[in-house]
Amino acid sequence: MTRDVKEIFARERSGSLGASGAPPAPAALAAKVRTLGPSMTRSMQRVAEAVAGDPAGCAALTVTGLAELTGTSEATVVRTARLLGYPGYRDLRLALAGLAAQQQSGRAPAITTDIAVDDPIADVVAKLAYDEQQTLADTAAGLDTVQLGAAVAALATARRTDVYGVGASGLVAQDLTQKLLRIGLMAHAHSDPHLAVTNAVQLRAGDVAVAVTHSGSTGDVIEPLRVAFERGATTVAITGRPDGPVTQYADHVLTTSTARESELRPAAMSSRTGQLLVVDCLFVGVAQRTYETAAPALSASYEALAHRHRS
């Protein structure tokens, strides 16, 4: 391989700290728990669920007290704190106290996204709307702006950009390529895994490959990203699993909120909501960096389509 995969894994595991190296703000704590929870061990999940469910109560506990409350060990509590982005348990307690104060001043509405078969349609609308809002807030809170800025810089100067995604994530891949094309950049979306790999073989240094996979483990997306990575292209992963297999071939990882899918909501819209927010952030960042050429390209595309919108 052209890069040290172990170094990338180490970066991801230690990269929970914010862009400046400081621990995340209290408001980001709940988002971190929701995003990283599924990838934690069961004992670490108990700690994470406890601090997210009762920040005020846990803020009053020592590391020993929280370990006893959750039936874990002090080492597990400290490891959980570090995975969530805090240097140690003391920093996590401070964030918990801040989160508790925020909740007391303006607690979120008591609403759940669990939709029952017999729910009235008004409740369905309210639950889905709340879930979408939460997904956007969580994704924004957990998005690493250093990684985002690096991905924007690579896209803005790329000779060519390939974007890989299948199923619902394939729609997001198409959205990103269409946006880049509108500002005059060369971009292609690939949902066919064979075409994705054969195109990835043609990439080289100066090109960019973007993988969109909520699970982080979609083989049809990981394979072309691996090929692009080994060919020397700059690689980006947009995923809800920062420790998923896709990240071992990603130079830059952009994490989205982990959506809760259910029997009534497979491929829940909220999983794409977070992805689309990241795509919009990438597009706006690239448009800013290439404004002198992007603005005329946008104007030209609007003008070319204007006659199709006239009555």
DSSP state string for the chain: --S-HHHHHHHHHHTTS-TTSPPPPHHHHHHHHHHHGGGS-HHHHHHHHHHHH-HHHHHTS-HHHHHHHHT--HHHHHHHHHHTT-SSHHHHHHHHHHHHHHHHHSPPP-------TT--HHHHHHHHHHHHHHHHHHHHHH--HHHHHHHHHHHHT-S-EEEE--THHHHHHHHHHHHHHHTT--EEEE-SHHHHHHHHTT--BTBEEEEEESSS--HHHHHHHHHHHHTT-EEEEEES-TTSGGGGG-SEEEE------BTTBTT-HHHHHHHHHHHHHHHHHHHHHTHHHHHHHHHHHHHHHHGGG--
Of residues 137 and 207, the one with the higher pLDDT is 207
Instruction: Cite the residue boundaries of each domain of the chain with CATH code 3.40.50.10490.
Output: 137-305
| Res 235: pLDDT | 98
pLDDT at 20 over 50: no
pLDDT digits (tens, 9 = 90+) for 177-216: 999 999 999 999 999 999 999 999 999 999 999 999 998 9
| Res 27: pLDDT | 57
Residue % of the chain over a pLDDT of 90: 47
Instruction: Cite the residue boundaries of each domain of the chain with CATH code 1.10.10.10.
Output: 26-105
pLDDT digits (tens, 9 = 90+) for 217-244: 999 999 999 999 999 999 999 998 888 9
Q: How is domain 26-105 classified at the architecture level of CATH?
A: Orthogonal Bundle (1.10)
Highest mean pLDDT among 10-14, 113-117, 287-291: 287-291
| Res 172: pLDDT | 95
Q: Any idea which fold 137-305 has?
A: Rossmann fold (3.40.50)
| Res 22: pLDDT | 52
Which range is least confidently modeled, 52-56, 87-91, 97-101, 207-211? 97-101
